[in-house]
Homo-oligomer: A and B are copies of this chain.
């Protein structure tokens, strides 16, 4: 069987130092990969390009929070209950499978009961299916331990700091907060190589907006751009403005981050022909989302792969954390002028709440104080995911006048969430070309110069000391100017060009004997193979211009 594109790329990736299987000397484990010297640089370049879109163009702030996350956080967010896969074990060999990997389009319970589905490994019948939680769990401390998980998303670290971040931006909406880092998902039995990892790199933005005003301040700048949508039936190209007007996309903010995503992916080197946004149907929405679009990239082996999810998480997460922690995580919609209003204030009585709610009394007191009192005589609050009725001897209601400067509300969240590893793989696949020249096979990665791990190959034509000395000095100067180089003096010049082409280096500089006299060198372009002559003095600005555009 001939190798497919995925096999070819993963072989190249391993041979040339992009991607290695993790723990290989101990037999490896599915779902884990290492980034080698070139892969790690490519990944950093993609992440930094991403940051430039979110920090420069969109003025987001960035934070960095632990990967180990308290049980309480992920219980409040719904992950303890909802972040699950339906799983099934073999009765004989005990191998576990994700149900959707082995069963299609038929009722699971029925299929298992009637033994229609056998273990793919040993062909025995399967036990009953059951949901398993996909978070890696661990414990903090000794003796009195705290339960914790490795984070399934970086988002929760942002949500639980909302009150601090809202103060940092001086209490103005909208504002976006990004986080770049590791996420974890203990897949039952991952079988798709680098596409389905148990530990992966994410880049997420949580943009907090006023639910009554889901516009975006930069919408006008991008409204005429065309966006590529797929509604599960057909693809269409449509202007962002039209998509919002016709309610294909629910609101401006969601549409803005979709087009930002499209621009970022094109800029990183994704083939526009292998890109589209697909809308989630209602039954595939995550537990926290009201609308979600996936940016999908096409790969030869796996078909359309979800690489970015852009979700409207509404008030789900902040409200959940308010309910569970009792803390004030509201935003304020200020009036032009303060108003004097009649209010019914709830005055909690700790001497009644204490015996009734024990350790939770303080939290409940704080929830009651923040409650907007309405007409009903009965007070029911959300606490730890449960409805709790507060007996009326536990509080007093006082009617009073109060100066009010605005309305409190729970912001909504638009979340663009990027899977960096999948994007990286797809960029390599979209950049991969191979062919034959003079009976020699060659492979080229046409990586965008912006993200290429090596920008310039520095190649002295011979080992002549004078050439080597010019080449070394040039190499130093380029590196000091922040241009990643690879110095290579081994083998024929054609062989060296080929080595650089294969890892996506956009430019090669050859230092030859004329360089000694004319202080000039030859620059070869990877994609055209055209060569031009340039003064050494002019190289750095020339290359910077080429790399940044």
Name A residues whose Cβ lies closer than 8 Å to a Cβ of B: 14, 16-17, 20, 22-26, 29, 31-37, 39-41, 43-44, 56, 61-70, 72-73, 87, 89, 94-96, 132, 136-144, 146, 150, 157, 160-161, 163-165, 168, 170, 177, 182, 184, 186-189, 198-199, 321, 324-325, 327, 329, 479-480, 490
Contact = CB atoms under 8 A, between A and B. Distances in A.
Nearest to A36: B63
A56 B26 contact: no
A56 B480 contact: yes
Contact of A67 (B62, B69, B157, B182): B182
Contact of A34 (B66, B68, B70, B137): B66
Contact of A66 (B26, B32, B72, B89): B32
A34 B17 contact: no
A160 to B, nearest CB: 5
Contacts of A490: 170
B144 A95 contact: yes
Contact of A96 (B142, B188, B480): B142
A68 B137 contact: no
B143 A65 contact: no
A142 B66 contact: no
A186 B25 contact: no
Give 4 closest A-B pairs by Cβ, nearest first: A96-B143, A37-B61, A25-B325, A35-B64
Interface on chain A toward B: helix, strand, loop, or mixed SS? mixed
Most B C-beta atoms less than 10 A away, residue of A25, A56, A96, A182: A25
B140 A138 contact: no
B65 A22 contact: yes
Contacts of A39: 63-64
A96 B199 contact: no
A69 B474 CA distance: 41
Nearest to A164: B20
A213 to B, nearest CB: 22
A513 to B, nearest CB: 26
Nearest to A33: B66
Given A61-B37, A73-B26, A17 B164 contact: yes
A327 B479 contact: no
Given A64-B35, A138-B137, A29 B70 contact: yes
A338 B324 CA distance: 72
A17 B144 contact: no
Most B C-beta atoms less than 10 A away, residue of A26, A29, A67: A26
A37 B62 contact: yes
A29 B198 contact: no
B34 A142 contact: no
Most B C-beta atoms less than 10 A away, residue of A56, A64, A177: A64
Given A66-B199, A95-B144, 7 more contacts: A23-B70, A24-B160, A25-B329, A34-B157, A37-B63, A39-B64, A141-B186
A39 B61 CA distance: 11
B70 A143 contact: no
A35 B138 contact: no
Contacts of A29: 70, 140, 146
A95 B141 CA distance: 10
A142 B64 CA distance: 30
Nearest to A68: B199
B94 A188 contact: no
B34 A65 contact: yes
B138 A150 contact: yes
Given A89-B143, A96-B142, A143-B96, A26 B70 contact: yes
A412 B329 CA distance: 54
Contact of A40 (B63, B89, B95, B164): B63
A490 B171 CA distance: 13
A25 B165 CA distance: 13
Most B C-beta atoms less than 10 A away, residue of A22, A31, A43, A150: A22
Contacts of A89: 143
A32 B170 CA distance: 25
A161 B95 CA distance: 29
Given A34-B64, A198-B68, A26 B160 contact: yes
A73 to B, nearest CB: 6
Nearest to A30: B141
A26 B329 CA distance: 13
Contacts of A157: 22, 34
Given A136-B138, A150-B138, A36 B161 contact: yes
A12 B189 CA distance: 47
